[in-house]
C-alpha cells in the first residue's frame, strides 16, 4: 500500500505540473501571436476587403473582444477539446490536427527508432573498443552530427539523394489514397529521407550519452571483478555494463523526445512532409492564432505524457527508486 500510494502521489504531482506547464505554454504562445503584429482579418480577407467585411469577420471570430477575454475563452475551449476555427482554412483546428498528426507520428517514430539504434549502437561500439581509433571516431562523428541542425542534414540528404539515387522519391508523402501494398510502399519510400534527416540529427546525442554511460559503468568494481573471473569482454560490455548503463540512457532518450517535435517542424518543411510541423509553419505564415495555439497545445500535452511515461519506466527499472517512497518522489529529477 505505501508503494501504491507513492506511485499515485507521484503521478498526481506530475499531472498537476503538466496542467501548469500547459497553461504557461498556451499563455506564452497567445502573447507571442498577439505581439507578431498584423490583422488576421486583413490577412485572410485580403487588402481589398471593406471595413464592414473586416468588422464582421472580427466579430465572427471573436477578435473584437478584449485580449484577456479572448485568452480565457480560448483556454476554456481547449480544456473542452474545442480548438476553435482556423482563420486561414476555415475548418475546425481539431480536424486539421487529427488529419496531420498521423504523418508526424509516423515520421517521429521512424526518426526516433533510427536515432536510438544508430546512437546507442555507436556508443556501445565505442565503449567496447575503448582507447582505440573506434572510440575516437565515435566521439568525433557524434560531436559533428550533434552540432548540425535537422534542416542542414535534410538539405545534405536531398543533395545526395538527387545525385546518387535519383529514383528515390524524397519530397512529399506520396499517394495518400488506398491501403494496399503499392500505396504503403510509396509512402515508406518517401519516409526514408525525412526519417534519416531527423534520426541522424538526434543520433549524435544518444551516441555521446551511451558512450559516457558505458565507460562509467565499465570502470565500476563489479566489472573489474568480472574481468578477473575470466568473463569475455563481449559479455562484460553487452550484458553487465550495458544493463547498468541503461538508466541514464533511457532518461536521456525520454528527455530528447521533446526535441523531435521541434526537429519535425524543420524536417517537414524541408521535405514537404504533410504533418503538424508543416501545419505550424503554415499557421505562422498566415498568423492563424487558433491553429498555432491548438497545435502547440497538442504537442505540449504529447511531450509531457511521453516524459511522464519515461519517468515511470525509469522508476520501474531501478529497484532503488521503486522500493523507496522518498526516492520514487524524486524519480526523474536527476
Mean pLDDT by 10 residues, the chain (334 residues): 67 81 86 75 71 78 79 84 81 88 88 89 86 88 83 86 85 69 82 88 86 81 71 72 76 69 79 85 82 86 78 65 48 44
Distances (CA, A) of 63 to 19, 120, 142, 216, 294: 26, 50, 48, 57, 16
Q: Is residue 272 part of a domain?
A: yes
Q: Report if residue 334 sits inside a domain.
A: no
Q: Is residue 163 part of a domain?
A: yes
* Residue 248 is assigned to a structural domain of this protein: yes
B/e letters for 167-176, b = 16+ CB within 10 Å, e = fewer, are eeebeebbee
What residues contact residue 116 under an 8 Å CB cut-off, 6+ apart?
Answer: 203, 206, 253
* 320 within some domain: yes
Helix and strand numbers (H, E) in the chain are 15, 0
Look at residue 131 and tell me if it is in a domain.
yes
Residue 315, pLDDT score: 67
Strand partners, 92: 85
The answer to whether the CB of 194 falls within 8 A of the CB of 154 is yes
Q: Is the torsion defined by CA of 260, 261, 262, 266 positive or negative?
A: positive
Q: Residue 85: helix, strand or coil by DSSP? A: strand
The boundaries of the domain holding residue 79 are: 2-329
The rounded distance, in Å, linking the Cα atoms of 88 and 302 is 25
Q: Are 293 and 74 contacting, i.e. CB atoms less than 8 angstroms apart?
A: yes
Instruction: Check residue 334 and give its pLDDT.
Output: 42
Counting every residue written for the chain, the total comes to: 334
**Does residue 146 lie in a domain region?**
yes
C-alpha distance from residue 135 to each of 156, 181, 195, 210 (Å)? 25, 42, 26, 12
Question: For residue 333, what pLDDT is reported?
Answer: 46
Contacts of 76 (CB under 8 A, 6+ apart): none
Supply the CATH number for residue 85's domain: 1.10.3720.10
d(CA 253, CA 212): 14
Provide the strand spans (E) within the chain.
none
The answer to whether the beta carbons of residues 198 and 260 sit under 8 Å apart is yes
The residues near 171 (Cβ < 8 Å, ≥ 6 apart) are 158, 190, 193, 271, 272
Hey, is 92 helix, strand or coil? Answer: strand
Domain count across the chain: 1
pLDDT, residue 211, reads 87
Contacts of 103 (CB under 8 A, 6+ apart): 173, 273, 274, 275, 276
In a domain, 311, yes or no: yes
Q: What pLDDT shows up at residue 258?
A: 65
pLDDT at site 328: 42
- Determine the Cα–Cα distance for residues 271 and 280; give it in Å rounded to an integer: 15
Amino acid at each position: 500500500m505505501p508503494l501504491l500510494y507513492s506511485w499515485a502521489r507521484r503521478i498526481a504531482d506530475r499531472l498537476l505540473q503538466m496542467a501548469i506547464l500547459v497553461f504557461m505554454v498556451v499563455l506564452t504562445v497567445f502573447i507571442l501571436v498577439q505581439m507578431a503584429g498584423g490583422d488576421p482579418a486583413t490577412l485572410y480577407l485580403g487588402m481589398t476587403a471593406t471595413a464592414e467585411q473586416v468588422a464582421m469577420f472580427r466579430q465572427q471570430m471573436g477578435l473584437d473582444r478584449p485580449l484577456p477575454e479572448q485568452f480565457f475563452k480560448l483556454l476554456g475551449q481547449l480544456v473542452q477539446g474545442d480548438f476553435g476555427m482556423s482563420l486561414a482554412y476555415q475548418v475546425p483546428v481539431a480536424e486539421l490536427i487529427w488529419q496531420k498528426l498521423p504523418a508526424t507520428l509516423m515520421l517521429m517514430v521512424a526518426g526516433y527508432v533510427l536515432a536510438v539504434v544508430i546512437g546507442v549502437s555507436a556508443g556501445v561500439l565505442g565503449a567496447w573498443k575503448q582507447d582505440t581509433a573506434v572510440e575516437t571516431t565515435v566521439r568525433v562523428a557524434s560531436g559533428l552530427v550533434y552540432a548540425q541542425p535537422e534542416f542542414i542534414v535534410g538539405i545534405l540528404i536531398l543533395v545526395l539523394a538527387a545525385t546518387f539515387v535519383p529514383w528515390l522519391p524524397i519530397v512529399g508523402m506520396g499517394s495518400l489514397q488506398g491501403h494496399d501494398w503499392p500505396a504503403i510502399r510509396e509512402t515508406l519510400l518517401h519516409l526514408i529521407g525525412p526519417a534519416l534527416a531527423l534520426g541522424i540529427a538526434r543520433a549524435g546525442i544518444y551516441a555521446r550519452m551511451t558512450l559516457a554511460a558505458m565507460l562509467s559503468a565499465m570502470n565500476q568494481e563489479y566489472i573489474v571483478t568480472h574481468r578477473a573471473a575470466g568473463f569475455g569482454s563481449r559479455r562484460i560490455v553487452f550484458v553487465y555494463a550495458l544493463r547498468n548503463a541503461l538508466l541514464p540512457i533511457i532518461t536521456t532518450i525520454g528527455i530528447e523526445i521533446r526535441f523531435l517535435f521541434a526537429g519535425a517542424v524543420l524536417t517537414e518543411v524541408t521535405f514537404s512532409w504533410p504533418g503538424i510541423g508543416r501545419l505550424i509553419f503554415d499557421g505562422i505564415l498566415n498568423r492563424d492564432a487558433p491553429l498555432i495555439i491548438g497545435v502547440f497545445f497538442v504537442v505540449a500535452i504529447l511531450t509531457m505524457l511521453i516524459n511522464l511515461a519515461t519517468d515511470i519506466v525509469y522508476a520501474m527499472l531501478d529497484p532503488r527508486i521503486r522500493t523507496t517512497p522518498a526516492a520514487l518522489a524524486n524519480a526523474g529529477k536527476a
